[in-house]
Structure 1
Amino acid sequence: MGDRMMRAVLFDRFGGPEVLYVGRVPRPEPAPGEVLVRVRAFSVNGSEVAARSGRLRLFTGRKFPQRVGSDLAGEVAALGAGVADLAVGDRVWGIVGRTGFGSAAEYVTVRAGRLGRVPDGLDPVAAAALPVATTAITALRDKAGLRPGERLLVRGAAGGVGNAAVQLGQAYGAEVTALARAANLDFVRMLGAHHAIDHRAVPPGELGLFDVVFDTAGTDLRAFRRLLKPGGRMVSIAFDPARPAASLGYMAASAVHGRGRVRFFSGNPTRALFDDLARQVADGGLRPAVDKAFPLEETAAAHRALEAGGVRGKYVVRVD
């Protein structure tokens, strides 16, 4: 394949966005069951921001340099032994893995089962905004069992997963209430929210009762759990970064104490889930929401923008 080196986004110490830089590392080779993907775009997610800052050092370790990037859109560049259901040149999207990073690079190896084919009509930047939507599918359809006519509350409705939850909730026939910043209320209405509320202006106790609460923030879980109707379900994909042990402990305790368990999970999609995602896109129930696209050299600026708050959909980075 010619040059065996590639560009990748790295950091040599924990810290703010300024620790990120584009360096050169060896291009990986696909192991059996893996696919080498030529990355065309990836999005910036809260988990990698937390990892870069050092808040996940128990999981990522302290060995440097470390990498960022968890999802991707691109093309199959090479196949590892035993991969027969994809071909070189296929346009794919995927996620590196539950705890892995590294898609912020020109190439990355991914287990074949963590990739799906990109639907026709989506360019790489649009496609890179959607893999995290598999988390919303799992949360609403599989974990919460959201049914038509039920009342759904989405926290962080303008964000990467939240915007997908609003769209999917509407597609599943729910009555969707979206919590977002005041500046993003028109945006979440455009996505399909029936009610859009400024989360800073209305306290949880004044929101009413819901069949399903979908949380992307991880804070104030006790207050939002009180909003569940009898038989209601709450699903969270985040824990409080300031109090991770207490936050996760409360979720565990909720399974045996009081009304309504708080279900917590992190996305770990498979090929079948990416096929479901593609069908949602093809059926018009889900469309990509890209706030801004950055070049690879400005990955730090994309991290800085996400940390500043107020994102509408996803910040995506192009790998040209």
Structure 2
Amino acid sequence: MNDRTMKAVLFDRYGAPEVLYVGRVPRPEPAPGEVLVRVCAFSVNGGETAARAGRVRLLTGRRFPQRIGLDFTGEVAELGAGAAGVAVGDRVWGVLGRTSGFGSAAEYVTVPAGRLGRVPDSLDLVDAAALPVATTAVTALRDKAALRPGERLLVRGAAGGVGNAAVQLGQAYGAEVTALARAANLDFVRALGAHRAVDHRAVRPAELGRFDVVVDTVGTDLRTFRGLLRPAGRMVTIAFDSARPVASLGYIAASAIHGHGRVRFFSGNPVREHFDDLARHVVEGRLRPAVDTVFPLEETAAAHRALEAGGVRGKYVVRVDQSLG
């Protein structure tokens, strides 16, 4: 077999998780400033399931086969010319950039050296794969919302990948954290540090009270949850309603002009500084990985199916290389 190829998860048409399969593609070569990473594991994210289903095909287009995978952990295998800050053999984590698209669901991935960070020695690489998206929670709470000790924080989607990190970090930053999750996950989010855990299907939003900061990972009903903000409150969302993308994004944009409490929307685009922050939070005990289930690469479709079924506690992780850990 040609050793310049590798396994990767692909799909040839939009559809249900069953469209995913493991095929072979050319192994990438690191360009100047890039790093070739041998992938240990990656996690499954909502944006990927939406892309695979064709709900954002205006962005993803109609060229096939397409790839999946946004984040990853692994080991540096090769350095491109001029790549600095990491060395061959380093244990690293990263997230592909906005312009790179998907593609970490593979045996190897190339990424600019500045978009990688070193995984703390205390973490197994499989467990660590649950945390790269936690950089989004750090950015949301610290940079976008400027959360302060003593403030009231509402986390919507608190049991998910970004949500569980927001609960942990909100508590560590000194906020009073209310976590919205399914009934079956309430004990889980309490164990993460939530001061109040609420079944989102049993309580109307208006009954929750008022908050200084709302972190939304769901993307629907933004107007309703924006209405829970106190004066000078801040709302951050990392999602939009994929069933009504134009209207959803339009509302987010209009919130900066009409009424109080702008809805700040962003997608994670972390660089080394963010991963250094992430590692520091882990080492200081503020943040720990939450892995629901680990799937082998050949069962990536099952991981997508499980995420779409709802009820995840933390992250579904897919292990690519059994020899790394």
**TM-score when normalising by structure 1:** 0.99
Counterpart residue number, 2:90: 90
Unpaired runs of 5+ residues, structure 2, are none
Counterpart residue number, 1:22: 22
Calculate the aligned-residue CA RMSD, in Å. Answer: 0.8
SS at match of 2:165: helix
CA distance in 2 between counterparts of 1:56 and 1:259 reads 30
SS at match of 1:81: coil
Counterpart residue number, 1:198: 199
Residue 63 (str. 1) matches residue 94 (str. 2): no
Q: Which amino acid aligns with 1:193?
A: A
Equivalences for 1:242-261 in 2 at 5 Å? 242-261=243-262
Moved more, 51-60 or 25-34: 51-60
Counterpart residue number, 1:310: 311
The Cα shift of 1:16 comes to 0.5
The Cα shift of 1:220 comes to 0.5
CA distance in 2 between counterparts of 1:50 and 1:29 reads 29
SS at match of 2:317: strand
The Cα shift of 1:98 comes to 2.3
Q: Which amino acid aligns with 2:32?
A: P
Q: Which amino acid aligns with 1:29?
A: E
Counterpart residue number, 1:6: 6
SS at match of 2:313: coil
CA distance in 2 between counterparts of 1:89 and 1:236 reads 36
CA distance in 1 between counterparts of 2:63 and 2:130 reads 29
Q: Which amino acid aligns with 2:132?
A: P
The Cα shift of 1:84 comes to 2.3
CA distance in 1 between counterparts of 2:203 and 2:315 reads 25
The one-character-per-residue Cα deviations of 1:256-313 (angstroms, maximum 9, x if unpaired) are: 1112100000000010000000000000000000000000000000000000000000
Equivalences for 1:1-320 in 2 at 5 Å? 3-98=3-98, 100-320=101-321
Q: Which amino acid aligns with 2:45?
A: N
The Cα shift of 1:223 comes to 0.6
Q: Which amino acid aligns with 1:276?
A: D
CA distance in 2 between counterparts of 1:65 and 1:260 reads 42
The one-character-per-residue Cα deviations of 1:41-85 (angstroms, maximum 9, x if unpaired) are: 000000111111111212121111000000000000001111121
CA distance in 2 between counterparts of 1:310 and 1:72 reads 22
CA distance in 2 between counterparts of 1:109 and 1:59 reads 22
SS at match of 2:140: helix
The Cα shift of 1:109 comes to 0.5
**TM-score when normalising by structure 2:** 0.97
The count of corresponding residues between Structure 1 and Structure 2 is 319
The one-character-per-residue Cα deviations of 1:232-252 (angstroms, maximum 9, x if unpaired) are: 000000000111100010011
The Cα shift of 1:96 comes to 1.1
SS at match of 2:206: helix
CA distance in 2 between counterparts of 1:140 and 1:84 reads 30
The one-character-per-residue Cα deviations of 1:17-48 (angstroms, maximum 9, x if unpaired) are: 00000001110000111110000000000011
SS at match of 2:83: coil
CA distance in 2 between counterparts of 1:83 and 1:290 reads 32
Contact 2:84 2:113 in 1 (8 A): no
CA distance in 2 between counterparts of 1:84 and 1:172 reads 32
